Amino acid sequence: LEGKGVATCPDVPLPFPQVFSIVVFGSIVNEGYVNRLDESEEHCIFNRNRNACNYGITVGVLAFLSCLLYLALDAYFPQISSVKDRKKAVLSDIGVSAFWAFLWFVGFCFLTNQWQASKEEDNPMNEGGDAARAAITFSFFSIFTWVSKAFLAYQRFRLGADSALFSQDYMDPSQDSGMPYAPYTNEEDATDAVGTYQQPPAADAFDTETQGYQTQNY
């Protein structure tokens, strides 16, 4: 990738990942804990499994913070002059997006399984049902948004690797192979060449020698 840019022009970031993250952890925090009529302690709406609610909240919050981090990176991206640093930034975007897509897939399967295993007697009033379904639905949507985000980052990486268009402002001119170079000349060699140079004899010298030459008869 020498002499070529690596995806220096970030496209407009998708707003869906951070919005979906807010919906997931917001739904669980607000209405994800219910209690029975004869109990005062609240339990997670997903089969009274606190780990399910904690997982949804943790993944949602961290995914939202990750979105904010990469929004800041996209804003700072054009100011990165190093090709290697820009390459690392795009590769990290690909890896992080794929990682969050996997976590949302796990979260969707986990929440769906626990929701199906929930008992009616644990929530006789059916409180928080809409919030639980919203968390499951937007966890499913988040899988595709992060996968598409990783795919777009991969396309930008290939575009930057195959074209020098995006790095022309940051390319070092000395790395351009088509740029002509002046031949290197040593100062001492140049002095010797000047000192040993002799001016060719004038034409009059040959005429003088010719006139002074006498033919001898044998």
Q: Which carries the bigger pLDDT value, residue 91 or residue 180?
A: 91
Band (pLDDT 50/70/90 cuts) for residue 171 is very low
Band (pLDDT 50/70/90 cuts) for residue 97 is very high
Angle at 151 between CA 56 and CA 90, to 5 degrees: 90
Average pLDDT, stretch 36-60? 89
pTM: 0.65
| pLDDT reported for residue 106 | 97
Which residues lie closer than 8 Å to 49 by C-beta, 6 or more apart? 114
| pLDDT reported for residue 194 | 46
CA distance 124 to 36: 7
CA distance 88 to 169: 19
Q: 40: which 2 tokens?
A: 């005062």
**Nearest-CA neighbor of 46 among 36, 37, 34?**
34
CA distance 88 to 183: 37
Range in 22-31, 91-100, 115-124 the model is least confident about: 115-124
